[in-house]
Structure 1
Amino acid sequence: MSKKKKPRGLISGESAAMLQVFPLTRDQRCQQRAAKAFSESKTELRDVLQNALSQLISGLSFEVELALCQGWGTDFLSAEASKLMMSCELPAANNAKAYMTLDHMAVQHLADLCLGGKVSKLEESRSELTVTELRIATRTFNRLLGSIQEYICDQKSLPMAEPLKQVQELKPFSYLIIKVRIVLDDDVISWFLSLPVSMFPQVADGPAVATASEQPLLQTQWQKFLVRGRVVMAEKKVNVRQLQQLLQGEFMPMSLQDSASFRLGGKQLFSGKVAQEDGQLAFQVTQTQE
């Protein structure tokens, strides 16, 4: 009586959260490396943005906070609230575009701070922005992006940012979405920076290199790995008619070659000759394949 295999149970949510996630595609791996580079320099980047905003907002005490958004953190980009999205090309990242997205109320509050006033208490944002508010938002984006580019890529030149007519969807795994927050005494202003992955240093994918501690293990244990090889003394292609004749008992002339080939899978590794040793057939390598 055969026993049925017990089906594997589902992994609970708490257990799944503890599992390590492995990126499958190259884009996912590049994004993961960029996220790691951002996390390692998060404190320095926060100081860079703090200094850049301090040059725009004078006479006020505030703190800058940064957070890397993934999954639920990017829901704001598809919300229905009135938003402003700006783009700017990055010469240091092969002219890939970076984006800044913020709602109209954040633009109005940011304009209040840059103009030296207090944040106005608005119940809801206006559907249209003034020329001054749009200019301040564009200038802020350029100042922040220029400071980040100079810190990461050591390059200062940057074209002027351009406001977009509507919010665009970004290509998956091609950007790091960072939430920037200005924390004041009584208010918090936040927006999103979408930085291209190509802006961050990348290490090309390649075969893993064995460390010094791993090399003796590879050098001593490789002979224990079993492979299935075959020695081909002769081979001949036949058509369907010849195959039918063989099934009916016909003979097919064959000529043995002077040398035989040793193959692993479909690849020929080396050639040699077949001989007898102690009454058994044996194979001796005479030529290796380059």
Structure 2
Amino acid sequence: MPTLSPSLYTSVVLSSEKGSSGWLTALPILDHGFCLHKGAFRDSLCLRYGWRPPLLPSSCVCGKQFSVEHAFSCPCGGLPTIRHNELRDITAGLLTELCHGVEVEPSLQPLSGESFRLRSANTEDGARLDVVANGFWERGQNAYFDVKVFNPFAPTHCSISLSQCYRRAELEKKRKYEERIREVEHGSFSPLIFSCTGGMGPLATVVYKRIATLLAEKHGQSYSKTLYWLRCRLGFSLLRSAVQCLRGSRSSYHRCGSGETAVIDLAYAEGRLDSASPD
């Protein structure tokens, strides 16, 4: 049994994950995305060692007490969504170099009476995943990917091990989409599960190792260097997003009270703007 406190033990486990320490050794080169300003670097150190970052607000705009755990999960301001979308776009950009038919948020085919073994399978018309790429695993087959970033400091995750957190999140995604992808789309499905501190799940590790292999072959680079660069790129993305969840604004300081954009048609007609030059 560990002699550390539960919170410190969790921080030690998270900081020992592959990909979660690359930001400490990489030179801060802005062009490569390996740069943190001094406040972000300080907050990153606090997160790594389980310290509370200084000068955090006492309460959140949602009315709850502000904490590191709450900051990573609070939906106000859309910061968790921004974190998710950045990983999605990075993955899509990498796949564009390697595959055909790469698409962000592809729509699945509508169902026409198909039934699935699992009740948790998504049967909604207009269901979407995060990324699709043709020929990633097999030539001519679509590979679908869906990203999830979970908060390892959340109360629901503190009672189980980190490996169980990854496993549970992967199973949840697979129960929701895998059968439909296999039976209707005749493709493959891979959930890309990340912790908000920089680690990734077993299936995501396999996917990004495959990406690193294909990139190394295409550019004539070393596989180990390519994989380490890829882990650093993903790690910095997650780290910047974590700092943004801590420090980013969850409310707008500017309140528009006159509805400037709501009366464009009225202003255009009454102001006779059609007779004026658009230049």
Q: What TM-score comes out, normalization by structure 1 length?
A: 0.27
Greater Cα radius of gyration, structure 1 or 2: 1
The structure where strand makes up a greater share of residues is 1
Higher RCO (C-alpha under 8 Å, 6+ residues apart): 2
The structure where helix makes up a greater share of residues is 2
